[in-house]
Amino acid sequence: MKDFLQPIVTIAWKDVLLELRTKEVVTSVLMFALLAMVTFNFAFDPSPSVMALVAPGILWVAFTFAGILGFNRSFTLEKENNSLEGLLLCPVSRDVIYFGKLLGIFTFMMVMEAVLLPLFAVLYNLNVLDPRLLLLSALATLGFSGVGALFSAIAVNTRSREIMLPVLLLPIASPIDIAAVEATRAILEGAAWGDVGRWWGIVIAFDVIFLVVSSFVFGSTLEE
């Protein structure tokens, strides 16, 4: 188990160190998501009833499109620095590379969400400190990052990767986004655990599917 986990952590730590030096991914992602939240805040009537209706969608639209921007930058940096070939030469299996990239992307996404959720609470006057919302955010982000890492590896080798990634990713990831929006709405409305249960089930089921399938497909994607 140690031989499997240590390379994963090493690959993710390499991405974290690179980001700490350049700050390209986190800065661009945070600015994009913050701009989206502020723009939507002025676009809708700030009454509590309207905010409770539209705020979950705004939150996950910001997370989703900011995440796509982060996925693109993560693999583009690998391509530009010719480090993707170096990863392929490492004496580890392709699924280890996948989980290492996934862990790095997931870390970036969670940092972004930890910064944006308090700002979201201030802009829309909503309570986001519910533990269920924080857990939902982590689970939905895990599945979204899992399929995002796979399609980023595919799109980075195409000529129009900035356009190709959302075209590939959004239709596949839409079940997690929809379930996350509905679960967020129920949580903000004060629903009980049981009332949110079916949306939890959808998120967890797609997390498992995305992670298992993506880890198997990732190797052949890199070889292409």
CA dist 21 and 215 (Å) reads: 29
pLDDT in tens, 78-114: 666 666 666 666 777 777 888 888 888 898 888 888 8
Given this model, what pLDDT does residue 208 score?
92
Of 101, 100, 167, 109, residue with least CA distance to 139:
109
Given this model, what pLDDT does residue 116 score?
85
Given this model, what pLDDT does residue 85 score?
67
Given this model, what pLDDT does residue 63 score?
86
Count up the domains in the chain and report the number. 1
pLDDT along the chain (224 residues), means of 10: 74 78 75 80 69 81 83 71 68 80 87 85 80 88 89 77 80 90 85 78 90 84 64
Given this model, what pLDDT does residue 47 score?
67
Given this model, what pLDDT does residue 205 score?
92
Given this model, what pLDDT does residue 88 score?
67
Phi, psi (rounded to 5 degrees) for 45: -65, 125
Instruction: Write out the residue range of the structural domain in which residue 14 sits.
Output: 2-223
Given this model, what pLDDT does residue 74 score?
73
Given this model, what pLDDT does residue 192 score?
76
For residue 129, how many C-alpha atoms fall within 13 Å in the half-sphere facing its CB? 4
CA dist 198 and 196 (Å) reads: 6
Spatial neighbors of 85 by CB under 8 A, at least 6 apart, are: none
Given this model, what pLDDT does residue 141 score?
92
Given this model, what pLDDT does residue 49 score?
67
